[in-house]
Amino acid sequence: MGKVVRIGGAGGFLGDSSVAAPQLLKGGKLDYMILDYLAEATMSALGQLKAARPDQGFARDFTEWVWKDNLQELKAQGVRIVTNAGGLNPQACRARMEELAAAAGLSFKIAVVEGDDLMDRLGDLAARGLTEMFTGAAFPDPGHVFTANAYFGGRPIAEALAAGADMVITGRVVDSALALGPLMHEFGWSDDDHDRLSAGSLAGHVIECGAQATGGLFTDWEEVPDWAHIGYPVIECQADGSFVVTKPPGTGGLVSPAAVAEQILYEVGDPQGYALPDVVCDFTQVQVEALGPDRVRVTGAKGYPASGAYKVCITFEDGYRFIGAMPVVGRDAGRKAQRQAEALLERLGDMLRDRNLPPLRDSRIELLGAESSYGAQARPEALAVREVVARVGAEHESAQALGLLAREFASPTTSMSVGSTGWFGGAPTITPVARVYSVLLPRTEVPATVSVGDRTFTVEAAPPARPFDPAMVVRPQAPAAPADEAVVQVPLIEVAWARSGDKGDAFNIGVIARRPDYLPWIRKALTPQAVKAFFAHEFEGAKAPEVIAYDLPGLQALNLHCIQALGGGQFSSLRLDPLAKGKAQQLLDMPIDIPARLLAR
């Protein structure tokens, strides 16, 4: 088999389980462990924290749980950690790691990768007349910016490891680079090894979200044993870029071709234009193959040259939002809760006018338990439930204006709907609206800096000899439309698996046929027009809504990219599901036509 590098994925977000690292150290037989903490929303939160406390801004979940509790085992096994836990303050993260190691009588050679933070260049960026890469919006007011970070790739991590680092702490890097960097180092992949760089990026993409690759969030959730002890993923990577997905023996969860395929499609837009700093990936011919229980081999990733640019993500304050919960029980609970929430917002409107304050910028009422998030797809009988929670969201330029709503929010429990129970799980929250603004910068303008031991050096990113051009892409031939024949209607879930995820104000749904002969019928049903109509409520307020469908013949799959469909997404959305976690579940209820003869098999 040749050399095999084993990498464990011990964390997919800030808040992931603390059991992952010790589990992987116990049974993973690892060379590396990666931990990913940095979503755009997390960057915004860390930026606000660092503004208040300059010594913070890194992922303390990592230092106080993963690092502190596993120091001895990490040292004994020689497992190397690569993580973006450094966030906005990687030097402070390293200092805390060294403090904890010294207290335990241990020492590690810890490298820091920096240079991604562009807060000191905001004036220059604003003066360039840059516009947002997806919407064309003007540059935000630098005085309202929380964070500004370029997304580095795997090369600086590889150089840090080559310099002898035991551990590598980064700021903002693309999530998959946490695994790609070690693979570039171990196998000596060059910047021109496009297929291998794409495969290594796919390996990182599969495990960057922890147990999502080992049965977490799987469509067929009842087939996944022992959630309480779910195994976290381990990838066994080879020099050609192929890899096997597995998990520690004796753990819960499930590693199957379908579960891995779902994760491959998670948060992917164009599967032939998945642009990363090191490579543009093509996943359309990727295949998954079961090698045995809880062992799935992944092959077939292709790559194009990198674009020569870094994506720069800026988060900034744009007013404030209020979120509150209002439970109502009893007969007609849904109708009572809706009327009560509407009355409260009407009262707030009166109060704002009386004080010569502007009206709300936006508001939203969702009845949890009555399928409000399904829009027109909600079942009529859902409104007949006898207990609901009215989730009330509001947005305004002023936190003080929303304070009026917070002050009034409990008053309906004695003056409006019978059955209002009050909410005893905490007061409503008023938080800044954190919007995301993305631009591209030539990567030659943003060198990375690596410090390890007493050495500090720069990792320059030279422009590619031939940058990526969309004309390089040859789309796979669409399967032939099925001939007309007798059909029956079934919900999509009977013939497909699906996984959804967010990307800013867009979401994708990867739909994988349970059998190859189902795919033409799935594709016939899930046209962009049909999907856009099914999710019409998600496109409310969008200026240029769009659904794009992509074919992935290697996985027998279809990827649906729904653009301007999340009301702003993440911390700038008032919706219940701004991260699109439930969109695939909703689509799986869509009825589609399938020949009875296929189902009979």
Alpha carbon of residue 335 to chain centroid? 35
Tens of pLDDT, residues 470-517: 999 999 988 888 999 999 999 999 999 999 999 889 999 999 999 999
Both 18 and 56 in one domain: the answer is: yes
CATH number, domain of 417, equals 3.30.70
Q: Are 186 and 325 within one domain?
A: no
Residue 378 has pLDDT above 90, yes or no: yes
Regarding whether 79 and 24 lie in a shared domain, the answer is: yes
Same domain, yes or no, for 45 and 155? yes
- Answer yes or no: is pLDDT of 570 > 90: no
**Mean pLDDT confidence for 292-310:** 97
pLDDT of residue 426: 75
> Same domain for 271 and 342?
no
Number of domains in the chain: 3
User: Are 179 and 281 in the same domain?
Assistant: yes
The reply to whether 323 and 294 lie within a common domain is no
Cβ–Cβ contacts within 10 Å for residue 448, how many?
25
Provide mean pLDDT across the span 30-51.
95
Domain boundary among 245, 264, 299: 299
| Domain assignment of residue 446, yes or no | no
Residue 137 included in any domain = no
pLDDT range class, residue 128, cuts 50, 70, 90: very high
Q: Is residue 107 part of a domain?
A: yes
Q: Which of 268, 299, 330 is the last residue of a domain?
A: 299
Give the relative orientation of helices 399-408 and 333-354 as an angle to the nearest 10 degrees.
Answer: 130
Mean pLDDT of 10-17: 95
Q: Is residue 466 part of a domain?
A: no
Residue 127: inside a domain? no
Say what percent of the chain tops pLDDT 90.
94
What does the mean pLDDT of the chain come to? 96
Check pLDDT > 90 for residue 277. yes
Residue 436 has pLDDT above 90, yes or no: yes
Query: With bands split at pLDDT 50, 70 and 90, how would you rate the model's confidence at 431?
Result: very high
**pLDDT recorded at residue 418:** 97
Within this chain, do residues 380 and 265 fall inside the same structural domain, yes or no?
no
Q: What value does the mean pLDDT take over residues 561-569?
A: 94
pLDDT at 349: 98
pLDDT at 462 over 90: no
SS3 142: helix
The strand pairing partners of 158, in sequence order, are none
DSSP string over 500-554: EEEETTEEEEEEEESSGGGHHHHHHH--HHHHHHHTGGGGTT-SS-EEEEEEEGG
What is the identity of the amino acid at 294? D
Whether residue 28 has pLDDT greater than 90: no
Residue 468 lies in a domain: no
480 domain-assigned = no
**What are 141-188's pLDDT values in tens digits?**
999 999 999 999 999 999 999 999 999 999 999 999 999 999 999 999
Are 162 and 247 found together in one domain?
yes
Residue after which a domain boundary falls, among 233, 264, 299:
299
CB proximity list for 30: less than 8 A, separation 6 or greater:
6, 7, 8, 24, 77, 79, 234
Domain-embedded: residue 591? yes
User: What is residue 360's predicted lDDT score, i.e. its pLDDT?
Assistant: 98
Mean pLDDT across 401-414? 96
Based on the domain organization, do 97 and 218 belong to the same domain? yes
How high is the pLDDT of residue 63?
A: 98
Could you report the per-residue pLDDT of 302-328, keeping only the tens digit for each?
Answer: 999 999 999 999 999 999 999 999 999
Interval 344-350 mean pLDDT:
98
What's 221's DSSP letter?
A: G
pLDDT at 471: 95
Per-residue pLDDT averaged across 277-295, rounded?
98
Indicate if 271 and 356 belong to the same structural domain: no
What is the separation of C-alpha 571 from the centre of its chain, rounded to a whole number of angstroms? 13
- Cα-to-chain-centroid distance, residue 89: 22
Q: What average pLDDT does this structure show over 206-222?
A: 98
* Calpha distance 124→146 (Å, rounded): 16
Range of the domain at 323: 319-434
- Regarding whether 382 and 286 lie in a shared domain, the answer is no
How far apart, in whole angstroms, are the C-alpha atoms of residue 85 and residue 7? 17
Q: Angle at CA 587, nearest 5°, toward 582 and 591?
A: 150
What pLDDT sits at residue 422?
83
Helices 257-265 + 194-207 axis angle, to 10: 110
